[in-house]
Structure 1
């Protein structure tokens, strides 16, 4: 007696008092069961074009859409961590693949990269955390005095400050907001705990995605029909290459830019060089807009030293930007990411308004992926004459 037959003996016994239709169905069910098909063979499919099935599909689609939207809204913080970890894993993929091609096991390669990254980050924090905190607090605390000093020395800044009420805005930004943020150990503890927890979760997810990336890649491509799977693999791998090249290359370029900025500011004794260098490195991750904002901030701080130092710093940032665009980007990223400047600005603005800083960081690889899909799928179909499209569909 197999499991299915035994299970029928354990359900609803005895059955002598069952109605006649049920007893007849019981006999038919016993005759339908076989060794090859213990639970019977599937019956005739429902008519999908019937009014009942059409209404059922429509209602199910509405319920699924509403449920998906509610899930996304309720779990948007966790989903953002998952998306960020996935992009980081794709960014690590060029380095991991290089290690695998040279005979290193994938798990050990991922571990090695994590150890190097975390070790470098720990060494930086151990050496720079104290001056970084001190300079950051001093920069915020002396911001109103610095602005008044610039207004006294340069009438143009004084007129601009009066027109846009910069004094009040700086006072509000460095006064009441920071006081509310720093009130109580509980609030500060929640902020620190949340940041540490998010970082740990993102790191664990990144390690998992990176270690299992071939499996995830295979599952993604299995979602495509068999006849379209080869084309999907070619396009998907091209998208992965663009995203990975951009993420890894952007991190390296940002690190180089931050180091060069720190050397320049230290050489000319510009205040708060470490904080400003870290600010430049972080903002440089955001294309076009980030480096421009960083240059303006550095120029204003350099203006407190002297006007020649400010002019020299502006010139240095222009040269650094040219070196980044024409030397570092082609050599580090190659030609993996090619997005027009107009599309870059629009993508960064839209991504920043939707997902904040994370959206601005992910805007360029997403835009590059969308452009690739448009060029490979939509444009060729639009360029074909209508007769060819009719023949293909037939």
Structure 2
């Protein structure tokens, strides 16, 4: 009966590899096979791990240096080539870590993990579906109104006495819009962009589901890569970083919803057009730290200027007041101590993240900065102080 793939033969030569077996033609290899048969035992059929190579060998040092350069260059090429895919994977993992506190909370209440993951995603899909069901008719109606008023806005853009005309004269807005939409190429590019965005969104959702479901095994696999002597410390620091990321993601989502709701109420009070569209835009932009709320507030204020100058000034005051309340009331109470990042580090991190990865980089900038500060406080600074 042939030997299994993990059991060598009695003479050290596997029955399913390199037959026929001839001691005379194999020469020194036959001697090594005889030794292989001796070191193969029932509890260690493939033998034990041998001694380490001499790391001080000039050959190994040279090979390690050359191999390091080659591997680094290859990794750079791989990262550049797979940039979009890696961004999707990283964002999905980031969202999965953000949802993990909810899943773990349900698991602590004696729910199986698969049921906890299902409950979280069903609740998320239900909330998003309910919101879209209520918002889409209003959004479509307001978008239709906006399209119908585009000719009026274009005429105002050509009127140098109107505020829109003066703005168009300085920024050349009409020319930029016409260039982007002129011809079939503009529409084709827009369609391709929408299709690509929807495809990436579907991939992101699928990856997030898999990451959330398998996060315990991913956690164990990552900690197994750390040497055993340093593994306990790595577990404490790694779990703390995951908790910070989770608290930040959920807290930031809640704050963005609050921003959208308050903006909607304010715009309805002053009868500002496209209130639902603007409120949704503010909620989405508020997810981006520092920059998002500023852009959203500026857009809302400009639209309020179409109503009246007092509405414009009042909206600016509302944006500033909400910004102050978010920074000093909502963020400390909702996000709390999940992330403690100084204001200067926050701004620099958002700018660097946005420059490197665009919107995704700006979204993850603060938790990444918080993780870097935690590693510096727990690992880097103590080593430097002892040096």
Deviations 1:126-147 (CA, angstroms, capped at 9, x unpaired): 3322442453465473695496
Q: When the two structures are superposed, what TM-score results if normalisation uses the length of structure 2? A: 0.87
- What residue ranges of structure 1 are gaps of 5+ in the alignment? 390-394
Q: When the two structures are superposed, what TM-score results if normalisation uses the length of structure 1? A: 0.85
Contact 1:149/1:304, CA 8 A, preserved across alignment: no
Deviations 1:254-288 (CA, angstroms, capped at 9, x unpaired): 01111111111122111111111111111111112
Pairwise CA distance, 1:183:
5.0
1:372 corresponds to which residue?
Answer: 374
- What residue ranges of structure 2 are gaps of 5+ in the alignment? none
Question: Against the structure 1 CA distance between its residues 180 and 346, is the aligned structure 2 distance closer, same or farther, given a 3 Å change threshold?
Answer: farther
User: Is the aligned partner of 1:29 residue 2:33?
Assistant: yes
Deviations 1:202-229 (CA, angstroms, capped at 9, x unpaired): 1111111111222212222222222222
User: Is the aligned partner of 1:92 residue 2:92?
Assistant: no
Pairwise CA distance, 1:250:
0.6
Contact 2:154/2:174, CA 8 A, preserved across alignment: no
Pairwise CA distance, 1:347:
0.8
2:355 corresponds to which residue?
Answer: 353
2:227 corresponds to which residue?
Answer: 225
Pairwise CA distance, 1:84:
0.5
Deviations 1:371-391 (CA, angstroms, capped at 9, x unpaired): 11112222223334xxxx4xx
Question: Against the structure 1 CA distance between its residues 44 and 279, is the aligned structure 2 distance closer, same or farther, given a 3 Å change threshold?
Answer: closer
Report the secondary structure of 1:61's partner residue: helix
Task: Return 256-265 or 119-128, whichever deviates more.
Answer: 119-128
Q: For residues 129 and 181 of structure 1, what CA distance do their matches in structure 2 show?
A: 28
1:272 corresponds to which residue?
Answer: 274
Contact 2:158/2:165, CA 8 A, preserved across alignment: no
Deviations 1:335-371 (CA, angstroms, capped at 9, x unpaired): 1111111111111111111101101111111111111
Question: Against the structure 1 CA distance between its residues 32 and 78, is the aligned structure 2 distance closer, same or farther, given a 3 Å change threshold?
Answer: closer
1:172 corresponds to which residue?
Answer: 175
Aligned length: 375
Q: For residues 257 and 240 of structure 1, what CA distance do their matches in structure 2 show?
A: 26
RMSD, aligned CA: 2.8
Q: For residues 48 and 29 of structure 2, what CA distance do their matches in structure 1 show?
A: 15
Structure ranking higher on relative contact order (CA contacts 8 Å, 6+ apart): 1
Structure 2 counterparts to residues 232-271 of structure 1, below 5 A: 232-271=234-273
Q: For residues 290 and 299 of structure 1, what CA distance do their matches in structure 2 show?
A: 14
1:392 corresponds to which residue?
Answer: none
- Of residues 74, 77, 94, the one that matches 1:70 is 77
2:295 corresponds to which residue?
Answer: 293
Report the secondary structure of 2:14's partner residue: helix
Structure 2 counterparts to residues 39-58 of structure 1, below 5 A: 45-58=52-65
2:126 corresponds to which residue?
Answer: 119
Contact 2:180/2:186, CA 8 A, preserved across alignment: no
Q: For residues 365 and 181 of structure 1, what CA distance do their matches in structure 2 show?
A: 42
